[in-house]
Amino acid sequence: MVSKQTPVKAGKVLDMMGSLHESFTPSARRISEFVMKKPADVTKFSIAELSQAVNAGEATIIRFCRTLGFKGFQDFKMELAIELSNQNQSEKSILDTDVTPNDHAELIGQKLQNTLNNVLTETLNLLNFESLEQVAEQIRQCNAVYFFGVGSSGITAEDAKNKFMRIGYNVDALTNNHFMYMKASLLKEGDLAIGISHSGNSAETTKAMQLAKEAGAKTVALTHNPRSSVCEYADWVLVNGNRQGQLQGDSIGTKITQLFVIDLIYTLLVKDDVSGAQAQKLKTTKALET
């Protein structure tokens, strides 16, 4: 899991707050929501002014900053100011991507395009690329890869299965909780389990990850919340973005970011063995010809 003391690099403060939002205490959530709404104002506030604005004690604000990996409020303000100064002022904000009942089809299309740009940028900000490389290396070395996910995340798991099978990996996807539990309990050292849950709190995926971990397999969590329950049983955590308008919900941004991370892993695998991947893909393509 991501340590509470892990420093947040400049350019990632707002995205990290968004990913951790559901794991915050009620008071920390109030602080986070205010900062997300008025980040420029916060960079000019004293800790006393922010305390009054969010109805939280100064000690609570300091704990909030330390939760994100900062020494205190001044460090937090400085990194936030750097992030804001680095932002392209011509870019649309997340509020500009909200779909309203009066929007026509072309405008909705443009807003969804902006949503994709936002969430992909957020994903790149949140991903630990060292962990991504390590996960790719585990896939190269392991005996078999198993993707676990339910609902929409189950669709991502099935897509990942198709993608990695096409280049010759021993892979399966399980989206039914009973099958997930049975398979996870039978894994062994040398296997890799990848649990996909956007919230990170899917009871089914969390249990499957726990069973896989107890069975001796290595485990990876793909989630938006790096402090969620599924991460408790993960050797590596890959974080995907989620900043999108309210009316979009999870209709497009979440799915795209999950697939984006899967595709990054796939590309890392292919680039290190281009000829081998092409040969395997040619075999599987020919096998599907009628």
pLDDT tens digit sequence for 56-66: 999 999 999 99
Residues 147 and 263 in one domain: yes
What is the pLDDT at residue 84? 86
Q: How far is CA 75 from CA 37, 71, 245, in A?
A: 19, 6, 30
Identify the domain containing residue 64 by its residue range: 13-86
Q: Which two tokens stand for residue 61?
A: 């604000």
What is the pLDDT at residue 202? 95
Q: Kindly state whether residue 102 falls inside one of the protein's structural domains.
A: no
What is the pLDDT at residue 96? 55
- Last residue of some domain: 25, 53, 86? 86
What is the pLDDT at residue 114? 82
CATH at 182: 3.40.50.10490
* Nearest one of 41, 56, 50 to 73, comparing CA atoms: 50
Separation between Cα atoms, residue 139 and residue 247, nearest integer Å: 37
What is the pLDDT at residue 262? 97
Q: Kindly state whether residue 118 falls inside one of the protein's structural domains.
A: no
- Last residue of some domain: 25, 52, 86? 86
Q: Kindly state whether residue 169 falls inside one of the protein's structural domains.
A: yes
Which residues of the chain fall below pLDDT 70? 1-11, 87-98, 243-251, 290
Q: Kindly state whether residue 51 falls inside one of the protein's structural domains.
A: yes
Residues 199 and 64 in one domain: no
Q: Which two tokens stand for residue 129?
A: 């690329």
Q: How far is CA 238 from CA 77, 125, 211, in A?
A: 26, 11, 20
- Strand 191-196 to strand 171-174: parallel, antiparallel, or no bridges (unpaired)? unpaired
Q: Kindly state whether residue 97 falls inside one of the protein's structural domains.
A: no
Residues 255 and 139 in one domain: yes
The answer to whether 191 touches 143, Cβ cutoff 8 Å, is yes
- Last residue of some domain: 59, 86, 113? 86
Q: Kindly state whether residue 115 falls inside one of the protein's structural domains.
A: no
Name the residue type at position 275: S
What is the pLDDT at residue 211? 98
Separation between Cα atoms, residue 260 and residue 283, nearest integer Å: 25
C-alpha torsion sign, points 260, 198, 200, 179: negative
Residues 163 and 255 in one domain: yes
- The number of domains in the chain is 2
What is the pLDDT at residue 9? 60
CATH at 31: 1.10.10.10
What is the pLDDT at residue 102? 83
Q: Kindly state whether residue 104 falls inside one of the protein's structural domains.
A: no
What does pTM read for this prediction? Answer: 0.81
Residues 224 and 156 in one domain: yes
